[in-house]
Amino acid sequence: MDKNFVLITGPKNVTGVKRRRANANHVEPLEEKIKIKRGAPDEEVAEALEASGKLEEMKQMVKPALA
């Protein structure tokens, strides 16, 4: 979105996280990149995760790494 904020999504039916903006310092990027069109609905995001084999991984609970 800009240099300080990014757009995150679960999608909600997968992880329970609604699409919203988050401070870039509060998220940790993944090693892999999944191509998703701008403005894609949650269903397309879930399909892209499933096609990349990451759907089950995204359903797991993540513990934040405290610095």
Asked if the structure places residue 66 within a domain, the reply is no
Asked if the structure places residue 67 within a domain, the reply is no
DSSP string of 35-50? ---TT--HHHHHHHHH
pLDDT score for 22: 93
Asked if the structure places residue 64 within a domain, the reply is no
Asked if the structure places residue 37 within a domain, the reply is yes
Asked if the structure places residue 45 within a domain, the reply is yes
Asked if the structure places residue 49 within a domain, the reply is yes
Asked if the structure places residue 32 within a domain, the reply is yes
For the stretch 18-65, pLDDT in tens is: 899 999 998 888 788 888 898 899 899 889 988 998 888 877 877 776
Q: Burial, 53: exposed, middle or buried (Cβ in 10 Å; 0-12, 13-18, 19+)?
A: exposed
How far apart CA 46 and CA 63 sit, in angstroms, is 22
Domain count, the chain: 1
pLDDT score for 44: 92
Question: Which residues span the domain enclosing 12?
Answer: 5-58
Asked if the structure places residue 15 within a domain, the reply is yes
Q: Say whether pLDDT at 17 is over 90.
A: no
